[in-house]
Structure formats: C-alpha cells, structure tokens
Chain A
Amino acid sequence: MAMAYMWGGMIVISVLFGLFNGNMEAVSNAALNGARSAIDLSISMAGILCLWSGVMEIMNVCGISTVLARCFRPVLRFLLPKASQDSETVAAVSANISANLLGLGNAATPLGIQAARRMARGCNGVASNELCLLVVLNTASIQLLPTTIASVRAAYGCATPFDILPAVWLSSICSVTVGLLVSWLLSRRKGEHG
C-alpha cells in the first residue's frame, strides 16, 4: 500500500506544481517520455544484466557459494552465538549471506526467511537480538558485483560501468559496520530480552 500512496502522491504533486508553475505541457511530455524511457532503459540494460547473471550462475555452479559460506562460519559463530548452536540455522544463514554477496537475491531471501523462522521459534513474536542482527545484515547491501546498477550505467553510455566498485565496497563496509554496531549498542541497552 505504501507504494500506492507514494506513486499517487508523486503524480498529484507533479500536477499541482505544473498548475502552479504553468508548465503543464512539460509535465505532460514528461509523463509520456518517462514511460518510454522505462522500456528504452530496460532494453539497453538487458544484455549486460543477462551476461552478468549468467557469469554469477557459473560461479554459483562452480561452488563458490560453498567456499564463501565456509569462510563466513567463524564470523557467524561470533555474531550469532545462540543461533550457531543449531547447525541447520547456521547453514541457512551462511548460504543466505553468500547468495547476497553474489547478488542472487532470489536465492538469498528464501534462505534468510528459513533461518529467521528457525530463530523465531518460541519467542512469542518478539525478535531476539540475534534475529534483529540477521535482518539488519539483510537490509544492508553486501553485494560484491552490483550488476543491475552497472548495467544501467552502461545503458547510459558509460564505458567503465564497474569503476565504482571500490566506492561501493567501501560504502557497504561502512554501512554494514554501523548497522551491526548500532544493533549491538541498542541490544545492550535493552538487554533484558536476551
């Protein structure tokens, strides 16, 4: 529902601004051009997006997810000590994180939900500290190759669409670190939930 209000709100505000500024003709043209540019953009990014999705799938089939998951076990044992006592939860969380790293969102979400369900058992609808941490990890982007945005950049004529990689990685690291730190600090403040 939130999107309905947001979309409707944008349209109504645009029309009001158009009336007020007397540039309704530009707004009218923009509506038609916007719709067309959505298809232009989709077509010009489709090839690159498909190529990178294919490359990611090859890496996945080669077993890079398993390798990544193995690397993350020790980190998870430190971040989620309680959940780590259940081997199935650890398996789901580490598969969730490696799918996120590879940008396989379709694969990551069901795995994360599976882990969240196991971690939510017997807590009567109140999120535990570790469950909060898992969700915060998933709301922060840790994708190694941001293929969608690279495809959009290429679609607009950028010759080196991946030159933003270092900036993306550094920003992701900062964002994840702050997310984890803030959850840790807030969970200490309200530590009675355990």
Chain B
Amino acid sequence: MNISSYIIPLLLAIVAIIGMGKRINVYSALTHGAEEGLTVLLRIIPSLVGLLTAVSMFRASGAMEWLSSLCAPLLSLFGIPAEAMPLMLIRPVSGGGALAVASDLLASHGPDSYLGRVAAVMLGSTETTFYTIAVYFGSAGITKTRHTVPAAIAADLTGFFAASFFVRLLFGA
C-alpha cells in the first residue's frame, strides 16, 4: 500500500472532523466552495478555448519547436528543458495562456514525465506577474513602479529554474 494514497482521504476526513467539531455546516461550506470553483472554471473556459486553439496551431505548424530550439542553448546552461520556453514566455502575461501551454505539454508528454512535472511545478510556483502588477499599481494610482518589475522577474526566473532543478532532484530527469 502506497503511503501517498492515504493523504487525500485523510485530509478530507481531518477537514470534516475539524469543521464538525467547530459546529460548522461543512456540507454547505463544501458546496459553496465548489460553486466558487465552478465560477472560476466558467470564467476561464472562453480564454482556454481561444488559447488552446492558438497553442495547438503553434505546435502543429512547427513554430513551437523553432521557438524552443532557439532558446535551447541558453536554457540548457541552467538545466531548464527547452520545451518549457513557451510556458516561461506566456506565464507572466496570461494565466489562461499558461494553463493552455502547460496542458498542451502535459497532453503531449504525459503528466508523469519529467517535462510534464516541470511544467506543473512552474505553473504552481509562479503567478501572472504583469497582470498582478498592473492591477495593484493601477488601482493604487501608482505610476512609478521603481524596482518592482525587475524584482518580480527575478523571482519568476528563480521559480522556473528551481522547478526544473527540484523536479530533477526529487523525481529524476
């Protein structure tokens, strides 16, 4: 029996026990959250359709391969797989685009492949940087963002590098 098969059922049980112990209606909280999840999904479906169409065409035409091979020498220096380049380019700009590129990688290489895991970890450990910066500074009325962009990009690049490094370390290449 694999220890990891205990994690999800136990987590669900713990959450249920804590909630009921606090006299919380866990079921209505669950359905309310599920509704929220569905709203999020509904909102990304239109952009996912548009972007997966574009990403699939981009791959089928050979442009994706060209873009990856263009950056391969630089990326291999840092141990980042070249196929992850399109994901790194779109990640800071569009959350839906990043999801489309990552799911394209997962579909073509498999979710348990080295590349599939790297794509997943990259997506999980970075954010839609430029969107976030625009929203925060836009609503706070800031026009001089000073060192925010370089620092945020440094964080993103570290995340991309670390994703490749830790997946290789924990799962092997």
Binding site for B on A (CB under 8 A): 2-3, 6-7, 10-11, 13-18, 21, 23, 26-27, 29-31, 33-35, 37-39, 41-42, 45-46, 49-63, 105-106, 109, 112-113, 116-117, 119-120, 123, 125-127, 131-132, 134-136, 138-141, 143, 146, 148-150, 152-153, 155-158, 160-164, 166-168, 170-172, 174-180, 182-183, 186-187, 190, 193
Question: In the complex, what residues of B have CB within 8 A of residue A18's CB?
Answer: 57, 60-61
Question: In the complex, what residues of B have CB within 8 A of residue A176's CB?
Answer: 155
Chain A to chain B contacts (Cβ below 8 Å), 18 pairs:
A15-B61, A31-B53, A34-B54, A37-B56, A38-B45, A49-B41, A53-B36, A53-B37, A57-B29, A120-B142, A126-B143, A132-B148, A140-B126, A141-B126, A153-B120, A182-B155, A183-B151, A190-B147
Determine how close the nearest CB of chain B comes to the CB of A59; give it in whole angstroms. Answer: 6
Query: Which positions 85-139 of chain B face chain A at CB distance < 8 Å?
Result: 90, 93-94, 97, 99-100, 102-103, 106-107, 110-112, 116-117, 120-127, 129-130, 132-133, 135-137, 139
Inter-chain CA distance A16–B8, complex, in Å, is: 47
A157 (CB) vs chain B CBs: closest residue: B111
B162 at the A interface (CB under 8 A): yes
Main DSSP-derived SS at the B contact region:
helix
Query: Which positions 15-57 of chain B face chain A at CB distance < 8 Å?
Result: 15-16, 18-19, 22, 24, 26, 29-38, 40-41, 44-45, 48-57
Q: Which of A11, A116, A153 has a CB less than 8 Å from the CB of B57?
A: A11
In the complex, the answer to whether B150 meets A186 with C-beta atoms within 8 Å is: yes
Inter-chain CA distance A174–B60, complex, in Å, is: 35
B66 at the A interface (CB under 8 A): yes
Number of interface residues of B (CB under 8 A): 97
In the complex, the answer to whether A61 meets B63 with C-beta atoms within 8 Å is: no
Q: Given A125-B143, A183-B148 in contact, is the A174-B162 Cβ separation under 8 Å?
A: yes
Question: In the complex, what residues of A have CB within 8 A of residue B155's CB?
Answer: 136, 139-140, 175-176, 178-179, 182
In the complex, the answer to whether B136 meets A186 with C-beta atoms within 8 Å is: no
Inter-chain CA distance A177–B57, complex, in Å, is: 37
Question: In the complex, what residues of A have CB within 8 A of residue B24's CB?
Answer: 58, 61-62
Determine how close the nearest CB of chain B comes to the CB of A34; give it in whole angstroms. Answer: 3
Q: Given A30-B57, A119-B140 in contact, is the A38-B148 Cβ separation under 8 Å?
A: no
